[in-house]
């Protein structure tokens, strides 16, 4: 079973929690979760199998989890080598701010994506005029 399929299956149950998948020495998140992580840490978003993803090295995990905990965003960690079994789960229940930060992140990242498209268009237009 592919990683995206596993993420979707886990997110059906834990839809308001950031899901990290440990793959080797990196942690990855997908879809809505990647927006939140990219928003806080300015990690690059990649488009993989029709969804956004972002990743970071394992030595950054404590910094990432500390930020999520200070913002009261629930999260869980699964390890691919352990058949995606949940290793860590922090649930803030009614205090969970997942939706609040997702909305902020989506708005800001949406603007960044639009600005980048405009920048690329302008560069392309300038290049065609020079030639």
Give CA–CA dist 15/43, Å, rounded. 22
User: Taking 90 as the threshold, does the pLDDT of residue 62 lie above it?
Assistant: yes
Q: What is the DSSP string of 85-106?
A: EEEEEE--GGG--HHHHHHHHH
Residue 1's pLDDT band (boundaries 50, 70, 90)? Answer: low
Ordered structural domains, the chain, with CATH: 3-130 (3.40.1170.10)
Structure tokens at 53: 């993803």
Q: H or E stretch including 78?
A: strand 75-79
The CB-side HSE value for 75 (13 A sphere, CA atoms) comes to 27
Q: What integer is the mean pLDDT of 93-97?
A: 96
Predicted pLDDT of residue 16: 96
Other Cβ atoms less than 10 A from the Cβ of 36: the count is 25
User: What's this model's pTM, rounded to 2 decimal places?
Assistant: 0.88
User: Taking 60 as the threshold, does the pLDDT of residue 131 lie above it?
Assistant: no
């Amino acid at each position: 079973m592919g990683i995206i399929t596993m993420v979707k299956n886990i997110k059906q149950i834990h839809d308001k929690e950031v899901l990290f998948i440990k793959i080797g020495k990196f942690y990855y998140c997908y879809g809505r979760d990647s927006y939140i992580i990219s928003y806080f840490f300015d990690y690059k978003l990649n488009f993989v199998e029709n969804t956004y993803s972002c990743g970071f090295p394992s030595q950054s995990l404590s910094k990432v989890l500390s930020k999520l905990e200070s913002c009261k965003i629930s999260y869980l960690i699964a390890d691919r080598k352990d058949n995606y079994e949940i290793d860590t789960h922090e649930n803030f229940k009614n205090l969970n701010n997942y939706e609040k930060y997702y909305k902020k992140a989506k708005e800001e990242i949406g603007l960044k994506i639009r600005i980048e498209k405009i920048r690329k268009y302008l560069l392309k237009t300038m290049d065609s005029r020079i030639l």
